Amino acid sequence: MYDRLQAHLQKELADIREAGLYKNERVITTPQGAEIKVNSGAEVLNFCANNYLGLSNNPKLIAAAKEALDSHGYGLSSVRFICGTQDLHKRLEAKIAEFFGTEDTILYAACFDANGGVFEPLLGEEDAIISDSLNHASIIDGVRLCKAQRYRYANADMADLEEQLKLAQAQRFRLIVTDGVFSMDGNVAPMDKIHELAQKYDAMVMVDECHSAGVVGETGRGVTELFNIRGKIEIITGTLGKAFGGAIGGFTTGKKEIIEMLRQRSRPYLFSNSIPPTVASAGIKMFDMMAETNELQDRLHENTAYFVKRMVDAGFDIKPTRSAICAVMLYDAKLSQDMAAKLLDEGIYVIGFYYPVVPKGQARIRVQISAAHKREHLDKCIAAFTKVGKELGVLKG
């Protein structure tokens, strides 16, 4: 039979290539950082990593991971509830709860698993999930695995959310679900208003903090800090794979009975391996560092403000952002690809996005700022954008 599937796959792959949607992976030969080397030997400045706090190659985290190799070994060869729980996992869970001001935390192999395993154990057919239309794929998949009634509201549209909440009043439990920061625009979910509507229409709230934790809020505690609703959100999910060191690992943190039930019933937790001691140990170190100083968050906020201001002054059209994601709007798919290629020639690594990743006519280059960027990196990036922008005629008057 494989010859028939093979022919089918070959055709589908050719179609993907033809549509210009084929994903090529660029190979990096150095640690993740502001300055990286790709396998052609070229050195480029990286502006497309989720390495918001510049911790992916942090010496203290590397040392903590190495220590754990000696003290706790390489792997657990077990799920948590059989023999995969070390003191390190419990300590990391407590640190995460402390960071977010929540009651308890459960670790997963990734946030994809946290989101995939959060709905089904908590909600059933008689309940409602009210989900932002731009939520992450893992939330969409998690919702699909759950029998709750589904309602969808337009991105960050509070009038629409209110409509959907009215429609969902017949259900037993209601859960509003949103990303904290939306990855394509860099906009923040209006959590204060979402919280208010949840109160008014008797609903709970879940927020996915993957792009907001460590980034948003004065001390990087995420959207609940930004909107002054710490401790008031029932469920927060997040990743250790972005701002928090960038290795791997996800978590759900929130009300203690919810976390307790997830430990009993959440399938990606029950049927998948424990995170390795190296990652747990470096995670603990990372949260200890966060508790000591806000230096990295401050630098990230400064860098982002500096970059946005200079780019707007240079004549670029940047979507309003409250995160470290800056969408440089070009509106034309081909232009976004040409511009990203020319920027790479200038030593700036960024990615152009177009339909279907973003809506038709909304093509853009997404720039992700990091605390690891030095002023000279930002200046070099802005200069390259300006040079290429002039060549391609995208600068405003």
Ligand X SMILES: *Cc1c(COP(=O)(O)O)cnc(C)c1O
89 assigned ligand-binding residue: no
Q: Which residue out of 242, 285, 301, 377 is catalytically annotated? A: 242
Among 65, 210, 282, 318, binds ligand X (CB under 6 A): 210
Among 112, 153, 269, 307, binds ligand X (CB under 6 A): 112
Is residue 242 among the annotated active site residues? yes
C-beta closer to ligand X: residue 245 or 250: 250
**At closest approach, how far in Å is the CB of 2 from ligand X?**
31
Is residue 211 among the annotated active site residues? yes
**At closest approach, how far in Å is the CB of 275 from ligand X?**
11
List phi, psi (to 5°) of 287: -70, -30
| Cα angle for residues 239, 242, 247 (degrees, 5° grid) | 80
Tokens of 336: 């976004």
293: helix, coil or strand?
coil
Single out the residue of 365, 289, 306, 302 nearest to residue 333, CA to CA.
365
List phi, psi (to 5°) of 286: -60, -50
211 binds ligand X (CB under 6 A): yes
171 binds ligand X (CB under 6 A): no
What does R_g of the chain's alpha carbons equal in angstroms?
22
CA distances (Å), 38 to each of 28, 347, 348, 353, 384, in order? 4, 11, 12, 21, 19
111 binds ligand X (CB under 6 A): yes
Beta pairing class for 204-208 and 174-179: parallel
**At closest approach, how far in Å is the CB of 208 from ligand X?**
4
| Cα angle for residues 233, 99, 85 (degrees, 5° grid) | 100
284 binds ligand X (CB under 6 A): no
C-beta closer to ligand X: residue 113 or 332: 113
60 assigned ligand-binding residue: no
Which positions are catalytic? 183, 211, 242
Q: Which residues are known binding-site members for pyridoxal 5'-phosphate?
A: 111-112, 183, 239-242, 272-273
Binding site for ligand X (CB under 6 A): 110-112, 115, 136, 138, 179, 183, 208, 210-211, 239, 241, 250
